[in-house]
Amino acid sequence: MNEKFYLTTAIDYVNGAPHIGHAYEKILSDVIIRHKRQLIDNAFMLTGTDEHGIKIQKTAAAKNITPKELCDENFSKFENAWKELEISYDKIIRTTDEEHKKVVKQIFNKLLKNGDIYKHSYTGLYCSGCESFLSPKDLTEDGLCPDHLKKPEEITEENYFFKLTKYKVKIAEYIKNNPGFILPEIRVNELLNQLENIEDISVSRTKSSVQWGIGVDGDDTQTIYVWIDALSNYITAIGYDINNPSEQFKKLWPADVHVIGKDIIKFHSIYWLAILMSLELPLPKTIYAHGWITIDQSKMSKSLGNVIAPHDVLKAFNLTEPDAFRYYMASAAQSGKDGNYSDEDFKEKVNADLANNIGNLLNRTLNMLVKYFDGEIKQEFISNKSCKIAIMAENTKTQIIEAFNKYEIAEAANLIVTFSDSVNKYVTDNAPWSLAKEEKTVECGQVLYNVLEAMRYIAIMLYPYCPNIAKDILIQLNENIDFKYQNLTWGKLKIGKITQKENIKPVFLRLDSKFATDKKKD
């Protein structure tokens, strides 16, 4: 592993409140960073909010408040949502931060000085929803924006343009020569095709069109546009400065992964790379483009009324901790593919995996340990690393690390559940209750030891998805609360009395259980 790992999420546009599409990306990112922290000490996660542009300007005007007041109001909603979902970011940046604005001006001036920005009068098709100009080939057969299904407006402006075409060949070569730079790999050909027809891009708007943004030094008619403003957050947040970059920037950059939605991959894999090339900065190591989350198989839409806030899911199921929602969202879709949320599927999946499978396995094994051995693990119960369960545990650990290295987050979650399935089968096959009845004490104790040591593995591997459930498992095993992978070797389960009857409680209640229902009524 590298000594450092720097992960960024896309920054969310604060024109409205967060929904589960926003939550999906942040949960995926948090699961990745928590896993990396299990392996190395210097793992850093950045998230943030995109707070400039015409949509915020118009929404604020309609509400009769200033754009900054709107940004402050909605920023707090995002901040509270991530706190509720236990997103463990190291920094959250706002593009209205003074330091960010200062460095964005530096970057613009540097690109201008390099000869990569020029002023040009332009007529183009502008989609206010995308906040970008579209070419006719980007539109549907009816001439609509494919994402917002609205006809773009024809606008003529004199703006500053960035020489994206200058870097076209270098970007194509970089993508082709660096397998794993774009993940999943199904996106690579799509990007290379987009590069074929790439044009220079507008990096400013006239102030008569967009007042709410960062002004261009020396030209009070222009506002710096989103590509230089928003994309630069990945370096401004960690202390980039043209003249005096911080020690943190030197340690963290380049980013190890930009986690983004598939709809903005072009901006990150083409526009952002060209800007970095012009600045002569190292390029990010990986851009991981996840899919979308639909609601009951339909794309989220305000007009359809199917936009769901993450808080509403937690409230509807009376979840005081976010683990079940985190687990469901992180395992909702295979790498890069779209996923779907429905209340029924959510309930069925978390009940099956977290309550019936993992939770029940721990509960019944601890109860057998109390019944047969007064809650005590004895020295003679310890098995060696060559036993079947130990080998399976080690193999699962290795496979999970490999899956995370490819950002296959749902696949890694499935490996944990598959391992838990195998341990449940091991219990059934070895029937410790029968061994106890036959007075095969040592054999019975060995089976229980193997299952509980497997549960310790499950807790540590499950931690990135379900930090609270993982902690509860270790508490019930009387283990130290330490989720580092360096502790994950077979045979480290504590010897001696680890539990008693009154301490054994379900680590996750079924959502439709009597206890969960009673709790909801309270």
Residues with active-site annotation: 19, 22, 127, 130, 145, 148, 299, 302
Residue 245 has a CB neighbour count (10 Å cut-off) of 16
Contact 248, 238 (CB under 8 A): yes
Residues pairing with 289 in the sheet: 260
Count Cβ atoms below 10 Å from residue 305 Cβ, excluding itself.
Answer: 8
Rounded Cα–Cα distance for residues 407 and 184 (Å): 9
204: tokens are 């400013």
CB-facing half-sphere around the CA of 114: CA atoms within 13 A? 19
Residue 281 Cα to chain centre, angstroms? 25
Q: Which residues contact 64 (CB under 8 A, 6 or more apart)?
A: none
Nearest to 416 by CA among 441, 435, 399, 437: 399
User: Rounded to the nearest 10 degrees, what angle do helices 20-39 and 323-330 cross at?
Assistant: 90
Nearest Cα to Cα of residue 478 among 489, 464, 465, 492: 492
Q: Could you give the dihedral angle defined by the CA atoms of residues 271, 274, 275 and 278, in that order, rounded to the nearest 10 degrees? A: -170
Tokens standing for residue 21: 């599409």
